[in-house]
Amino acid sequence: MQVQVLALQVVLGQVLVLQVVLVVQALLLVQALLLVLLVLVLLL
């Protein structure tokens, strides 16, 4: 019983970490796009 609970906690932990990583990547992507737009606006 305890092993199942532990395994569940590990899986949930991995999912949480994965979600955090995806969110961080999305934020970095948005920042990069905004930077590109800013550069284009300044060049035009």
Separation of alpha carbons 39 and 36, rounded Å = 5
User: Please, where are the H alpha helices in the chain?
Assistant: 2-43
pLDDT in the model for residue 41: 96
Residue 30 inside a domain? The answer is yes
User: Is pLDDT of 39 > 80?
Assistant: yes
Q: How far out from the chain centre does Cα 11 lie?
A: 17
Amino acid making up residue 36: V
Residue 38 inside a domain? The answer is yes
Residue 19 inside a domain? The answer is yes
Residue 1 inside a domain? The answer is no
Q: How far out from the chain centre does Cα 7 lie?
A: 23
Segment 32-39 mean pLDDT = 97
Residue 29 inside a domain? The answer is yes
Count: domains in the chain: 1
Residue 23 inside a domain? The answer is yes
Cα angle 19-21-26, degrees, rounded to a multiple of 5: 95
